[in-house]
Structures are given as C-alpha cells and as structure tokens.
Structure 1
Amino acid sequence: MRLKVTKSKNSASLYVIKSVYNSKTQSNSSVIVEKLGTEAELREKLNGQDPYAWAKNYIAELNEKEKEETSKVMVRYSPTKLIAKEKQRSFNGGYLFLQKIYY
C-alpha cells in the first residue's frame, strides 16, 4: 500500500491505494483502500501535525498488519500415520450450499 495525493485548485486529498495484478487481462491496476481526507481536515484532526508524515506512518502500520495476516502457515503431515478404515474424512458441502438457495 502507498500514499496517493490528488491535488486540485483548492485542496489536496490523501488516499491509501494498493496495486493489484489482474491475471485475466495481465495488467496492473490501483485500488483505493481508504480515503484519509483532505489536507485541511487532517490538520484540524491532528492538531497541526503534518498530515503527510502522519499518513506515511499510518500506511507503514497498515503494511505491517497486512504482512502479519498473509504470513505462510506450515502444516505438517505424517506419511507413516495410518487412516482408520471406515471413518469418513472428506465431506461434500456443495449440496448444502445449493439446498440453501433452492429451498
């Protein structure tokens, strides 16, 4: 995620955007994750603190949270462990989904 500043004649708006790759069209695009507000609104809200520095710190926190959520999990399987014979281990849940729609 990164900071996007759009400046107009009267104000500057700050956005948090994220780059996304679309595999179907094989192109990159940007998605707005959150609108932080205008520069004047943020100065009032932050009591005179620099909104650009605050936004960069906020985005750094969001990036850290995203890294923690997307961390890889290793699941260990034992090839020597035996599976009990007449015990069902897999279930077909697709029918339950369709049943909820139709009935």
Structure 2
Amino acid sequence: MTYVISQPCVDVKDRACVDECPVDCIYEGARMLYIHPDECVDCGACEPVCPVEAIAYEDDVPAPMAAFTAANAAFFDDLGSPGGAAKLGLIEKDAPYVAGLEAHEATP
C-alpha cells in the first residue's frame, strides 16, 4: 500500500509534502505531484502537511477520487523507479488521466 495524491493538487502543487518526505518519493509532474508507489515507505509524513488535503492512504482515497490511485502509478510507467525525485526535478508530463482534466476542474 502507499499514499496517493488526488484532485486537490491538480494545478496547485504546494510542495509542502515534498519538503516533508524522508525518502524523496514525491515527484513533480506538469500539473500535480505524484507519489511513487514502490518508493513510498508509508510513513504518512506528507499527509498532515498538505494544505489542500490532497493526500490520503490508498485504502482511504474517497470514491470520487479513486481514479487518482491508478493515475499516480501510471505516471511512473515510463520513468520506472528513479530512486529519488530531487535529482529529476520537474518532469514535464502528467499521467494521461490528469493531463486530460480541464484546468481547475471540479472533483470527478
């Protein structure tokens, strides 16, 4: 299991979670941040610092946000497991689901 970033992060990318993550597993896409499901150690440090409440434990992702669980994993389909977000910086792409969302779209 892992933590998941969902819709409130789209077009916001506050980055407080990035600063808090002890294993550097939160990557920055073009429109939102993504947690690498294999690199996350389930510590939960990211969840309470998110100002828009976009982060939840995988089992606790609200039903209307369920597509973001797959979107977080899909973001890494081409990247694999780079072993740390800091060395990559901004990745100018998003998961297909997120890329297809309208700007500031309401919760699906």
Shared topology, TM-score over 0.5? Answer: no
TM-score grouping bracket, smaller chain normalisation: under 0.3
Structure number with higher helix proportion: 1
Of the two, which has the highest radius of gyration? 1
Query: TM-score normalised to the size of structure 1?
Result: 0.26
Query: TM-score normalised to the size of structure 2?
Result: 0.25
